[in-house]
Amino acid sequence: MSVQQEQVTELIELVESVPPKQLEASVAEREGGLDAALTLVFELLVSEFNPAKAAGQKGVFQFDIASTEGQKLHYVHVENGACRTDKGRHESPDITIGIKFPDMMAMGVGKLPGAKAFLTGKLKLRGSPLMGTKLGEWFDHPEV
C-alpha cells in the first residue's frame, strides 16, 4: 500500500468514526492539518477521472470550502481528456460548489454522494446546473 493509499484509508476511518461536528478539529490535529487533508481528497478525485466519459468536453469546478480557518479554495479543471486540481480561485469556473469542511471530507472519501449532499442542503451550487452533474458522470467514484 502506498503512502497516499494509507493516508486515504486513515482519512476514511476518521470520517467514519468521528462525528461531523468534531471532524474538522480531529483533522486539524493531523500532520498538515486541513490543507493536507483537502489536497489528498482532491488528488483522490483527480485519480478517479475517466477521460472516456468526458471526451470532447471541458469544465472547471470551483470548490469553496467553509472551515474554522476560513474559506479553503480548490478547483478541478477538465480539458482535452486531462484533469488537474489546484488550490485557489479559478478565474472563470463553470460552477462553484459551496460546502462545509466535514461534508467535503465525507463526499471526498465516498461517504456522502454529491446528489444527496445537494438535496439535503449540504452543498450549494452557483453557475451551470448541468456542470454539477458532470462530477458524477466524468469521475468513477467507488460505491458508497
Report the run of H or E that residue 98 belongs to, with start and end. Answer: strand 95-100
Query: How confident is the model at residue 144, as a pLDDT?
Result: 43
Given a contact cutoff of 8 angstroms between Cβ atoms, the answer to whether 126 and 113 are in contact is no
Tell me the chain's radius of gyration from C-alpha atoms. Answer: 14
What CATH class has 3-138?
Answer: alpha beta
Instruction: Provide the whole-model pTM.
Output: 0.92
pLDDT means over runs of 10, the chain (144 residues): 80 92 94 95 93 94 97 97 96 96 93 88 90 85 57
Q: Where are the domains of the chain?
A: 3-138
Buried b (16+ CB within 10 A) or exposed e, 90-128: beebbbbbebbbbbbbbbbbbebebeebbeeebbeeebe
